[in-house]
Amino acid sequence: MSDIVYIGMDLGTSRTSITTSNGVRTTVWSYVGYPKDHVAKKKMGGRDIIYGEEALTNRLSLNLFRPLAGSSVKKKGAKDSAEIKKAVKDLVEYIVAQAKVPKGSTIYAVIGAPAEASVDGKALIIEAASAVCDSVIVTSEPFCVAYGLDFLDGTLVIDIGAGTTDLCRLHGTMPQAEDQRTHEIAGDAIDTLLATLIKEKYPEAQFSINMIRGFKEKFSSVSTRMDEAVVEMPVAGKPQKFNVTELIYKACYSMVPPTVAALQDLIATYDPEFQAQMRNHILLGGGGSQIKGLGLAIEKALEEYGGGKVTTVEEPQYAGSNGALKVALDMPEDFWKEFRTTRG
């Protein structure tokens, strides 16, 4: 019998992380690029596909895809073009390749998806992974975060990614559809709002969405005592400095009201005897959890509903993939046989 390698994957709109049973742990930027012409292909060393941060850096030479953004994986009702399906498949194959699985090994993968991912979205993930994995299980990203930390009872999990904010209610069993919520005010929406606010206040400034994302990742905060955020943007080709402190605060805070509304909905529809326990056991994860002061801002907004206690995960980059790996390792062998793919 061949050796089995288990893979836990947190499939993210901007970044995808994997943790494996053979000791690999890495993060890949969720970008795929294809050279535009023979000159671009020569520049890229003759390669047909470029991945990750390298693809983003060389985007002017490539037909660049961020395939999970706007796909059926992240957006309900989205229709996946043939190009998007190919890019998702290429990305998943590249990510699995980073696991450095010995030839001939059996690969079992648990892949985290948004809490309310559509049937089409889950099917797209399974189809993409089937070429490189022997068995694939798709489960909720926030559930993976909670499972990895053994927060399985009386816990509300918030997982903030680039495309979606996913919430999940844990009460000692596998979560059902009614235990999960998703909204789309997450990293990408913050970037879009920040770009709009900057354009309104500083119409002369020139910027790209990647510059905006960089500003957010460096200065993001919803603290009333946040550090001053001064950034550099060109004006007619000449670099100038702009104070965007208030704008970053406003853009980042935009995710607090819909998140609190979803939390309160999950609490209000839970057994009333245990609502207080759950409200005081909220786990905050995902890349967006690194926004300074976010946990305190959510607690403050929950005061009108009776208060709450938010704990931020210590390792947001790998909390999802670590949990997915733990799910994989704990899964009975019979389950893996049930979810066999047609690898190869």
Same-domain pairing of 171 and 305: yes
Encode pLDDT of 32-82 as tens digits.
999 999 999 999 999 999 999 999 999 999 999 999 887 777 777 778 899
β-bridge pairing 106-113 and 4-10: parallel
Task: Identify the domain containing residue 215 by its residue range.
Answer: 187-253
> How many domains are there within the chain?
3
We report the CATH number of the domain holding residue 234 as 3.30.420.40
β-bridge pairing 106-113 and 135-140: parallel
Same-domain pairing of 51 and 157: no
Encode pLDDT of 214-262 as tens digits.
999 999 999 988 999 999 999 999 999 999 999 999 999 999 999 999 9
- Joined tokens for residue 111: 């892949």
Would you give the DSSP letter of residue 226? P
Same-domain pairing of 276 and 294: yes
The pLDDT of residue 229? 96
Same-domain pairing of 56 and 162: no
**Residue 321 backbone phi and psi in degrees, to 5:** -70, -35
Pick out the chain residues at pLDDT < 70: 1-2, 116, 342-344
Contact 251, 181 (CB under 8 A): no
pTM assigned to the model: 0.87
Same-domain pairing of 35 and 59: yes
Would you give the DSSP letter of residue 61? G
